[in-house]
Amino acid sequence: MPDEPVDPSDIGERDAPPIADKPYKIVFEANKCIAAGKCAEVSGNWTMNLTSGIAQPESYFIDAEDLESNVEAAEACPAKKDRGVIHVVDRRTDEEIAPDPEGDGTLSVDW
């Protein structure tokens, strides 16, 4: 029996800020990060940790002002055979905004 798909509304919501304040969230598959640094090149929310060799967002919950740069980070990520390991999700609809490789808004994590 295959595993059930991950429900993006469940990830990180326990300690999340109100949706009205931060309507978007980042789901990051850190275990699949290849340390290319593309995310940190395009978004001020992402930095490379030189000790671990992987990127890390400053915040997992973002507002509309930070949306564009985090979408760019998700789309620039070359990990997971160019599908990326950074996912930007609209908390109001539970749809994946980026990278959305299937084009249907479902969360494209590969755990």
DSSP-assigned states of every residue in 65-95: HHHHHHHHHHHH--HHHHT-SEEEEETTTTE
Count how many domains the chain has: 1
**pLDDT per residue as tens digits for the range 41-67:** 999 999 998 888 889 999 999 999 999
CA dist., res. 81 & res. 60, Å (int): 23
Instruction: Supply the pLDDT for residue 59.
Output: 96
Instruction: For residue 102, name the pLDDT band (cuts at 50, 70, 90).
Output: confident
How many CB atoms sit inside 10 A of residue 4's CB? 6
Domain-embedded: residue 108: no
Domain-embedded: residue 9: no
Domain that includes residue 23, residue range: 18-98
Its pTM stands at: 0.89
